[in-house]
Structure 1
Amino acid sequence: MKRLIALLCLTLTVAAGSGTALAENIKGRLGITGKIGFYLPGDSDFDNYKLETDAGFLGGGGLIYGVTDNLAAEVDVTYTKFGAELVSGLDQGDFSVTNIAMGVQYRFDTPQPKLSPYAGGGIDILISDYDRPGGADVDPTVGVHLCGGLDYFLTKHLVLNAEVRGVVAPEVDIDAPGGKSGNFDPSGVAATFGVRLFFN
């Protein structure tokens, strides 16, 4: 996870140091985004045992709207599922997280009109579940995210996207039939690749 956080910081630094020519403008334009990737979650605990979590597949999509030449608003929903196990390797079921994210992007001007690097952040509503023998429930929570990415305009309307996003949220209770049995950490880092389609 430390490597991906470092990659996120590097992406933001490169974006901030870009040139001054105007990149492709999305002001007043509405688009849809579809994306897939992977998610590196934080570790959790159950019955006083540390749970190690695997990387999970992530998929989703959303809407983006250009507010000004450099600012855009974005709403998206993603879903990820990943396994959990004890340090000994014993399987402990699967966690899943549905993330409803609302945020803004600052889109940097670049010398290349087809390239549009951006940095952003926002609020995340995290709805989690834990599928394990005997059953368990996980409380929903609210977190925040920071992201850095790059759009490449194949045409005015069709765009390729790559992004690294870090999500930070407080640990929440894991409730088993006998009561609270542990804590789930929904924080993590996602790396995604996707396509944007602008309508106008």
Structure 2
Amino acid sequence: MKKLVCGAFAAALLGTLAAPAFAADLPTTKAPVYAPIDDSFDPFLVRVRALGVLPNGSGSTLFSSTIYGSKLTNNVVPEADLTYFITKHWAVEVIAGMSHHTLEGSLTPFGNRINIANTTLLPPTATLQYHFALGQWDPYLGVGANYTWFLKTTSPLTRSLGVGDAVNLHPAAGLALQVGTDYYLTKHWVLNADAKYIFLNTNGNVGVPGGLDAVHVNVNPWLVSVGVGYRFGVGDLFPAAVVAKY
């Protein structure tokens, strides 16, 4: 009996020592390693666009008299803008560009159309946008403010009258309404189409007696643009400053 008990104990001891060695011979199974998902939020979007500036000009006056058939000429210029995404849906956009325009019209109902004034517009505009974020398509609506400076304004009309050609059109602010869409080609590159309408008018002084606010110009332009953009985050600018998420 004693020999039987000793034999069983020895067998159990040998089995215990052999188990780790046997387990080491079995194939090991580890959890699969997956590539981290890039769900980073890129808040910056920079675009360059071709901008069509389509002013109205109708209803403009000179010395309180109607400028018949008044019109501001159209122009196409390059434009740059920056959008900052506060969240996935809310963003702020600022745009900058310059465009040259001519105020044309007649001083009599059936007179010839003449060049009344030439001016260059510097119209920075900021809008608060709501983005619908529909996958690759991202349509948006915006509302904001415009402030326009009128630079290097001259008047061939006053020059022909011998009183100089300097016209001082006053800077003016206006409400801006916006609609547009981005189409994401990749995570970073986008195509864009955008339209804004700005409620804008101004007065100006001319260099003749009684010339204070002698001219009133209704600008009220459409700003229509198409272009390409690049969306990025802080990590794209300063990779070493970003701590890995995984």
Say yes or no: TM over 0.5. Answer: yes
Equivalent residue, structure 2, for 1:16: none
Identity of aligned residues (%): 21
Which residue number in structure 1 is paired with residue 244 of structure 2?
none
Correspondence 1:145 to 2:164:
no
- Matched positions, count: 173
Instruction: Give structure 2 stretches of 5+ with no counterpart.
Output: 1-38, 107-111, 157-164, 234-246
Whole-Å Cα distance in 1 between the matches of residues 126 and 133 of structure 2? 23
Alignment partner, residue 55 of structure 1: 74
Q: Report the AA paired with residue 183 of structure 2.
A: Y
Q: 1:28, CA displacement in angstroms? A: 4.6
> For residues 26 and 136 of structure 1, what CA distance do their matches in structure 2 show?
52
- Please name the residue that 1:124 is paired with: 146
Query: What letter is aligned with 1:132?
Result: S
Normalised by the size of structure 1, how large is the TM-score? 0.78
Large movers: runs of 4+ above 4 Å: 25-28
RMSD of aligned C-alpha atoms?
A: 2.0
Taking the aligned partners of 1:116 and 1:127, their CA distance within structure 2 comes to 32
For residue 51 of structure 2, what is the aligned residue in structure 1? 37
Distance 1:27 1:101 in 2: 25
1:196 aligns with 2:229: yes
Larger relative strand fraction = 1
Aligned to 1:160: 191
Q: Higher helix proportion, which one? A: 2
**Deviations, residues 14-47 of structure 1 (Å, cap 9, x unaligned):** xxxxxxxxxxx99552121212121221213334
Distance 1:26 1:191 in 2: 31
**SS of the residue aligned with 1:187?**
coil
Higher CA-based Rg: 2
In structure 2, the CA distance between the partners of 1:184 and 1:148, relative to structure 1 (3 Å rule), is: same
What displacement does 1:185 show?
Answer: 1.9
Q: Is contact 1:34–1:62 with CA below 8 Å preserved after alignment?
A: yes
Counterpart in the other structure of 1:46: 62
List runs of 5+ in structure 1 lacking aligned partners: 1-24
Partners in 1 of 2:40 and 2:98 — Cα distance?
Answer: 27
SS in 1 for 2:80: strand
Q: Is the 8 A contact 1:26 1:69 kept in 2?
A: no
What is the CA-CA distance between 1:60 and the residue it aligns to? 1.7
Match of residue 109 from structure 2: none
Which whole-Å CA distance do the structure 1 matches of 2:185 and 2:116 have between them? Answer: 44
Give 1:199's aligned amino acid.
F
- For residues 172 and 28 of structure 1, the distance between their equivalents in structure 2, rounded to whole angstroms, comes to 39
Larger displacement relative to structure 2 (88-97 or 144-153): 88-97
Q: TM-score, normalised by structure 2?
A: 0.64
1:3-82 counterparts in 2 under 5 A?
Answer: 27-43=41-57, 44-47=60-63, 48-50=65-67, 51-82=70-101
Bigger relative CO (Cα 8 Å, ≥ 6 apart): 1
Are 2:114 and 1:90 aligned? yes
Residue 126 of structure 2 is matched in structure 1 by 102
